[in-house]
Amino acid sequence: DAKTTQPTSMDCAEGRAANLPCNHSTISGNEYVYWYRQIHSQGPQYIIHGLKNNETNEMASLIITEDRKSSTLILPHATLRDTAVYYCIVRGDSSYKLIFGSGTRLLVRP
Amino acid sequence: GAVVSQHPSRVICKSGTSVKIECRSLDFQATTMFWYRQFPKQSLMLMATSNEGSKATYEQGVEKDKFLINHASLTLSTLTVTSAHPEDSSFYICSARVETRGSRSPLHFGNGTRLTVT
């Protein structure tokens, strides 16, 4: 599975959009991009996933570049409860397991 | 839907004893479950893949005789930490996916078990 690169930490103001980038320049054609987050001392929570089209659900939007080498997770109106570590993971068809990188620690400021 | 439940959420045990952690898929069946371990301030590390009705597949460097995995039914996998030592103290998390929703369906995670070995 392709490796991902994320900034170590980010912050944003409560109520503003949080845009979390992820680089996956070695992604292959059949690999999907998954986003999870982990709030302190809890298990990871699934957010969203996509292949090449932009995706939106009740939690977030996922924007994938046309060449699929990077993506951005957008939390449109961040709240204090969105403070967490966000993981971008690329997964292919060969295995259902997820390999976690270091993620981005997002701090939402009041 | 797609709830994964772990029990216990916290356990403290003495060095040398064994501890069993249960992972259940509450509203779906899972032939495959995954066990992760997470040390403080670190990311999740995949330990093993639990397969219903067959042997688990362990990641490189994980001792299969120390971390016994049993996947006896389509809704239950157990991880037993045998002869636990203080260095086994960690946050153990399991996950599963709703297999009937296709190969792209995401993994869902339990809320983890914090093991402290004294």
Kindly report, residue by residue over B86-115, the tens digit of the pLDDT. 999 999 999 998 887 777 888 999 999 999
The strand ranges marked E within A1-110 are 9-13, 18-23, 32-38, 45-50, 55-56, 61-64, 70-75, 84-91, 104-109
Confidence grade of residue A1 (pLDDT, cut at 50, 70, 90): low
Q: Is B48 on the interface with A (CB under 8 A)?
A: no
Amino acid found at B25: S
Chain A with chain B: Cβ pairs closer than 8 A: 52
A43-79 pLDDT, tens digit per residue, is 999 999 999 989 999 999 999 999 999 999 999 999 9
Candidates A6, A34, A35, A46, partner chain B, best to mutate (most B CBs within 10 A): A46
Mean pLDDT of the A3-10 span: 96
What pLDDT score was predicted for residue A76?
Answer: 97
Q: How far apart are CA A63 and CA A68, in angstroms?
A: 10
Which residues of B, range 90-109, sit inside 8 Å of A by Cβ? Answer: 91, 93, 95, 97, 103-104, 106-109
> H-helix or E-strand containing B48?
strand B45-51
What pLDDT score was predicted for residue A18?
Answer: 98
Higher pLDDT, B116 or A99: B116
Q: Is residue A82 classed as helix, strand or coil in its secondary structure?
A: helix
B22-66 pLDDT, tens digit per residue, is 999 999 999 999 999 999 999 999 999 999 989 999 999 999 999
Amino acid found at B28: F
Peptide bond between residue B40 and the one before it cis (omega within 30 degrees of 0): no
* A83 has a pLDDT exceeding 70: yes
Average pLDDT, chain B: 94
